[in-house]
Amino acid sequence: QVQLVESGGALVQAGGSLRLSCAASGRTFNSTTLGWFRQAPGNERVFVAAISWIGGTTFYAESVKDRFIISRDKDKNTLYLQMNSLKAEDTAVYYCATRDARDGGGYYRIPDLRGYAYWGQGTQVTVSS
């Protein structure tokens, strides 16, 4: 039982930067991977980035590979997404989620949202042009 709360979403100009945070709380936080997904109006929720909790191995969608940086602070149980060189196409609600291979998450590939058991409420990012 994990609770996730995203924050940091805002209205920014194209080319600007923004950092999102995802704070985890609850009885325990033992997921092996944390990820960011986003969903634009009328579109499917898609993978953005992920990071393994212990080793820090990162994964990125091609659309954000050279612009976004995912990181985590294990002492604070917090996940981050540093977004740079923002584009209008980045406008979406951003969600954080947790994946644990021991609980069946490993059946799916890292970018597959079906492998993530717990989700935050989302935070809105709007990039104006």
pLDDT tens figures, 84-114: 999 999 999 999 999 988 778 888 999 999 9
Ramachandran quadrant class, 42 (left: phi over 0; alpha: psi -120 to 50; beta: rest): left
Tokens 């409420």 sit on residue = 121
pLDDT interval class at 82 (50, 70, 90): very high
Q: Considering the chain, what percentage of its residues have pLDDT values greater than 90?
A: 78
Spatial contact of 12 and 86, defined as CB atoms under 8 Å apart: yes
pLDDT tops 70 at residue 13: yes
Spatial contact of 20 and 94, defined as CB atoms under 8 Å apart: yes
Answer with the residue of higher pLDDT: 31 or 22. Answer: 22
DSSP 43: S
Q: How far apart are CA 30 and CA 53, in angstroms?
A: 9
Q: Are strands 33-39 and 92-99 parallel, antiparallel or unpaired?
A: antiparallel
Q: How far apart are CA 31 and CA 50, in angstroms?
A: 12
Residue 101 phi/psi, 5-degree rounding, is: -60, -30
DSSP 77: T
